[in-house]
């Protein structure tokens, strides 16, 4: 049984990414490792979800051949047979950009030539979505059996202002056809998105809430 490794590639933590990590910890309770966590404050927060290492996964597991990297740019799709041979599966802890910038390939895959690189479809998932798909495949689902939707639009009223937010990512669907999301995800994304956009417009590169 493999361990799930999230290579933390964001400079900081915020409520949005913590929700992604929380869902990963629920799906892989006792089997979750965070790597590349440089800040002790962040490490303290993430220890409630899993084991934390300051070192990058590219250093910790670089000499192993039983590692799978979920990389959207990988040529081959992930199969349950891949997972049966794996001791570690690495997911990039990245808040997705649109269009995708290939950061998983740049910062993880290219640094680990011995690891298997596998995709989970043609579209970019959120961290939680990718982990959800991984769990389904581990349970025996083929990738082409997993249902998903591309793009999620939400409308929220915040302080009397009607706010419409569209997330251009792929989201897995559960057995009832509903989008599989972390608890309270919509509210947190809706509240955080205006803050994120205002900081971008102001020229901030750092989107930290928890440094």
Reading the block at residue 105, the tokens are 């390939």
Residue 76 bridge partners (DSSP): 118
Predicted pLDDT at 200: 42
Q: What is the pTM assigned to this prediction?
A: 0.88
d(CA 19, CA 21): 5
Nearest CA to 134 out of 64, 186, 58, 79 is that of: 79
Contact predicate 124/101, CB 8 Å:
no
Contact predicate 34/51, CB 8 Å:
yes
Please list the ranges in the chain whose pLDDT falls under 50: 197-207, 211
Predicted pLDDT at 158: 65
Predicted pLDDT at 12: 83
CATH number of 3-143: 3.40.1280.30
DSSP category for residue 121: -
Domain spans of the chain, in order of start = 3-143
Nearest CA to 127 out of 31, 62, 34, 1 is that of: 34
Within 36-146, strands assigned E span 51-52, 67-70, 76-77, 88-93, 116-119
| HSE-CB of 73 using CA atoms within 13 angstroms | 13
Token pair 């509903």 is at which residue? 178
Reading the block at residue 59, the tokens are 């250093």
Reading the block at residue 109, the tokens are 């895959």
């Amino acid at each position: 049984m493999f361990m799930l490794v999230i290579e933390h590639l964001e400079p900081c933590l915020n409520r949005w990414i913590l929700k992604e990590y929380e869902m990963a910890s629920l799906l892989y309770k006792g089997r979750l490792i965070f790597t590349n966590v440089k800040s002790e404050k962040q490490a303290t927060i993430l220890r409630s979800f899993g084991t934390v290492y300051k070192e990058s996964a590219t250093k910790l597991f670089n000499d192993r051949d039983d590692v799978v990297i979920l990389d959207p740019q990988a040529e081959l799709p992930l199969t349950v047979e891949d997972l049966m041979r794996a001791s570690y599966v690495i997911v990039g802890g990245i808040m997705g950009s649109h269009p995708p910038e290939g950061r998983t390939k740049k910062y993880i895959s290219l640094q680990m030539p011995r690891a298997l690189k596998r995709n989970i479809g043609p579209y970019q998932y959120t961290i939680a979505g990718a982990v959800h798909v991984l769990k389904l495949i581990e349970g025996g689902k083929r990738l082409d059996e997993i249902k998903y939707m591309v793009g999620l639009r939400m409308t929220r009223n915040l302080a009397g202002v009607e706010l419409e937010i569209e997330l251009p990512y792929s989201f897995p669907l559960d057995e009832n056809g509903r989008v599989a999301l972390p608890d309270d995800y919509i509210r947190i994304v809706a509240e955080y998105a205006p803050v994120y956009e205002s900081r971008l417009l102001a020229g901030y590169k750092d989107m930290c809430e928890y440094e």
